[in-house]
Structure 1
Amino acid sequence: MNILNPRLSTIVQATVAAGSSDFRLPLVSIIIVNYNYGRFLDQAVDSVFGQTYPNVECIIVDNASTDESPEVLESISARYPRVRIIRRGSNDGQTAASLDGFDAAGGAYVIFVDADDILLPQAAATHMFAHLSLRVHVGFTSGDMLQSADDQIVIGTGEELNRYVLSGKGRRKNLLRNYEHAFEPQWPPRELGEFLADKIHLVPHQTTRWVWSPTTGLCFRRDALRQFVDNPDLASLRTGTDMYFAHAIGALYGSAIIDTPVFVYRIHGGNEFTRHPQLNRCKAYDGSSNNNNAYALRLLVDHLVAKIDRFYQSSRSPLDYFHALKQLDQHDPDPRLPAWRQRSRVAGHLVDGYADVAATIGPWKTWALMLWFGVPPTLIAQTAKRSS
């Protein structure tokens, strides 16, 4: 450890000698969500307990599986006494189970793992080195993936992440200051920092195009997730949990891509969104996923407006919040709505919640925002008059 200030070095050494536990490496909560993937569970759990990072916890949330999962979970519990297993009474989808796992988690960082995926041994260490070394304090990191089919690794990268890395948009000078943990000097190993030195790419806030890996490749800051888990309708999102959280946190707080694989994405014929390994200029999924992804983004827009007091007040620049709203805005599919509301879900919320919005940002800004999102001027005047 290289510390230039001798007095600081003495303080650190004295604290370590005293056995202080106040400065541990952050805990990473790894939450496995399972429904009828008993045949894959052992490998997924083994991959969690095989992490090289020294401070992880494992939580398994079972969505009332009807296959061999209960017996497999009993075996896992005997093999790994530290594992925590949450058995849900019904299968209410990926998001509801993820929220249960989040409520039980104690880590400052959270990785949600699909039970048919496998973490590579360096996954948590890779994420944590990036988070602790980045000079920009992003809300989550995304590692790359290996794609397997028939127990063979077919592809060594993911298309969306590849596209962003190849664009060069995320390259920054002096983006990292390699972390050294004073109270556990064996971590990180020097070779980890050397390996990752040129593999981390910044994804600025207000990025709303998907450039990341799926669920298991993402490592979120807990405090960033907390801004979005209290959406009362979120549990109704059966799949697309990663879509909701990544777009929300990426748009407001930014993210980073790590150009090295951290997990194996297993393609087995029963995947929700993927039918075969990615092939250039060929869709790897069917169209059914798009509707659910759109629903995830509508839920996100609803939350961003409903919690305007939170996001407006906490944004360093309120313009960041307004631009995120604009970029994430969705069409409302209800054909009974007037055209201006069908074009912009935010516009509808601004009219319906005018009093709360105006109380937070002031009437003039509210009127300007309504115009920006396409609310007819006559309706703005009527809404303001009714609320006066």
Structure 2
Amino acid sequence: MVQKEEMRQVCRRFMDSVSREISGGPAAEETVFGTCQTLATLEQPEAQEALTALSRVIARQAAGKDAPEVLRFYLDSQFGAGESEETDLLEAKLAALCGGDGAEAADSAASGAETGSAPKISVIITTYNRKPFLRQAVESILAQDYPNKEIVVIDDASTDGTELMMEESFGDEPRVIYMRNDTNRGPGANRLAAFTAHGDGEYILFLDDDDYLIDSGYFSRAVAFHRSHPGLSFVAANVFLEYSATQRLQLQEIGLSDVTDRRAYFLNFERPGYGKPASTLTTLFRREALIEMDILHMNMVNDASIYLRSLLVGDAGFIDAAVGVYRIHGNNITFNLSRDFLVRNLEEKRTIRNLAIERYNYKKKEMTGWFNNTAYDTIVYYLRNSAKTKEDYTYMYEWTHSNCPEIYAKVKQEFRTRLIKKQILQVPLIRKLIGR
């Protein structure tokens, strides 16, 4: 296994080689990527996977897609090489390749926001017992170069000192509003409460407390995109998935068109070719669209439902830039769903189906198929990631049989073996024999 310091030296040597190879005029993203991959094969086998991932980040930088600070963030977090002579040289060579377009575009958008009337962005952060993550999330928003922003933190009765941290760190920050519940109400209810109380910006961003932004110019770019494409429901971008157990970053590229048709995206949401952005950490929703899609009466204000309702009233916009980090650490809410949470989620999607038919002229037959598909995906996700006991499985089988009989047999067949295994593992002697 390559040790940390050795990996840092490998990275610096690799960057030096890349800088010497890419000297010259503009080059296509895939050309740069190919060059980097070739150089990666010259390094020791244990380092090649990490260098191939770095090659994609470098190639995107050469194409002007990502801000320079994103490359430095990646180099620092993955290799400890964010500040080095090789990094400075590589950054200069990449800027020459893309002509500085990416940075200039961001600077132009920021300048326009400062000199004109910048519409307000309201950022709503729900939190519960994650004060170190929360601090980073808030700071990443305050670091945005966009001038007119306000952060609303709603604390779901944390017991880890979150209230004290917020007072000490942001008590004198006028752009940060802190709300606190006396009892735990759940993230969906908190998003709605914060939106109702303080979500008066022209654009709204819902941020989970364990995610954060890494491109300080993103808000400026997203607002400029909204202004150049009036009527979009939302604008989103790419992220890095951070696997906290290993600290490994994986680039998630949405791969959708700059402007994606609402109907096509709605009907195929989360199906091949129509992936969902990671959470809502990069997504600037137009507030008028949220009101039109009836956010104030949502049963479940979670990310999938917000996206689906938004697509009923407007197209989606995407910026091909990596701008944030979505943490995957085993304690994510989406890996620890309760049965009640899941059923409320499914009931919300059934409401969305009815809205599509009654208000937006979708056909009943196609929406029945749509609901069965989305219900199947939701139920399967729960049974794979969150179901713990026989009662969890039985409850979901009964709910599916009553509400989605068309998919009942398929769901039950898929998880029959898994349920049997869980039941066997509940026997103490068997668990002892296999060492679990």
TM-score (norm 1): 0.58
Q: 1:216 aligns with which of 260, 271, 281?
A: 281
Structure with the larger RCO, 1 or 2 (CA within 8 Å, 6+ apart): 1
Structure 1: which amino acid aligns with 2:234? F
Contact 2:289-2:313 within 8 A present in 1 as well: no
Letter in 2 for 1:218: T
The aligned runs of 1:157-306 (5 Å cut-off) are: 157-158=251-252, 161=254, 165=255, 170-171=256-257, 200-208=258-266, 209-210=269-270, 211-213=275-277, 214-226=279-291, 227-231=293-297, 234=299, 237=300, 241-273=302-334, 295-302=344-351, 305=354
Moved more, 82-91 or 26-35: 82-91
Contact preservation (8 Å) 1:212, 1:257:
no
Q: Which residue of 2 aligns with 1:81?
A: 174
- Aligned-residue sequence identity (percent) comes to 24
Distance of 1:250 and 1:153 partners within structure 2:
34
> What residue number does 1:34 align with?
127
Q: Cα distance 1:307–1:329, how it changes in 2: closer, same or farther (>3 A)?
A: closer
| CA apart distance, 1:324 | 7.9
1:146-180 Cα offsets, whole Å, 9 max, x none, are 12244986335226x1xxx2xxxx54xxxxxxxxx
Spell out, residue by residue over 1:205-256, the C-alpha distance to the aligned partner (whole angstroms, 9 max, x if none).
3423122321212211111212232326x2xx4xx70011011212442212
Q: 1:187 matched to which residue of 2?
A: none
Give the letter for the 2:349 counterpart: L
Give the structure 2 partner of residue 329 of structure 1: 371
Q: Distance in 1 between matches of 2:247 and 2:139?
A: 19
Distance in 1 (alpha carbons) for counterparts of 2:352 and 2:202: 23
Per the alignment, do residues 324 and 62 of structure 1 end up closer, same or farther by CA in structure 2, a change over 3 Å counting? farther
Alignment check: 8 A CA contact 1:206 1:320 kept:
no
Q: 2:206 aligns to what?
A: 112
> Equivalent residue for 2:224?
129
Q: Which digits, 9 at most, give the CA deviation of each residue in 1:54-84, with x for residues without a partner?
A: 2111111111111121111111333413311
AA matched with 1:124:
F
Does the residue aligned with 1:36 lie in a helix, a strand or coil?
Answer: coil
1:71 aligns with 2:164: yes
Deviation at 1:127, TM superposition (A): 1.7
Q: 1:42 is aligned with what amino acid?
A: R
Q: Which amino acid aligns with 1:72?
A: M
Q: Following the alignment from structure 2 to structure 1, what is the Cα–Cα distance between the partners of residues 142 and 399?
A: 52
Q: Structure 2 vs 1, CA of residues 324 and 291 (structure 1 numbering), >3 Å: closer, same or farther?
A: farther
- Alpha carbons of structure 1 residues 64 and 325: separation in structure 2 relative to 1, 3 Å: same
Tell me, in whole angstroms, the C-alpha distance in 2 between the residues paired with 1:150 and 1:122.
Answer: 25
The one-letter amino acid paired with 1:132 is R
Unaligned runs of 5+ in 2: 1-115, 377-395, 408-436
Counterpart mapping for 1:332-371 below 5 A:
335=398, 342-343=405-406
Structure-2-length-normalised TM-score: 0.52
Greater share of helix residues, 1 or 2? 2
Native 8 Å contact 1:228 1:245 kept in 2? no
Equivalent residues in 2 for 1:91-106, closer than 5 Å:
91-103=184-196, 104-106=198-200
Q: What root-mean-square deviation, in Å, do the aligned CA atoms of Structure 1 and Structure 2 show?
A: 3.5
Q: 1:291 to 1:257 in 2, by over 3 A?
A: farther
- State the alpha-carbon separation in 2 of the partners of residues 151 and 81 from structure 1: 35
State how far apart, in whole Å, the 1-side matches of 2:317 and 2:369 are: 19
| Distance in 1 of aligned mates of 2:342 and 2:229 | 30
| Contact residue 206 and residue 250 of structure 1 kept, 8 A | no
Task: Give CA deviations for 1:12-41 in whole Å, capped at 9, x if unaligned.
Answer: xxxxxxxxxxx7221110111111111212
d(CA) in 1 for partners of 2:218, 2:348: 30
Contact 2:242 2:249 in 1 (8 A): yes
Give the gaps of 5 or more residues in structure 1. 1-22, 172-199, 275-285, 313-317, 345-388
Residue type at the aligned position of 1:216: L
Q: How many residues align?
A: 262
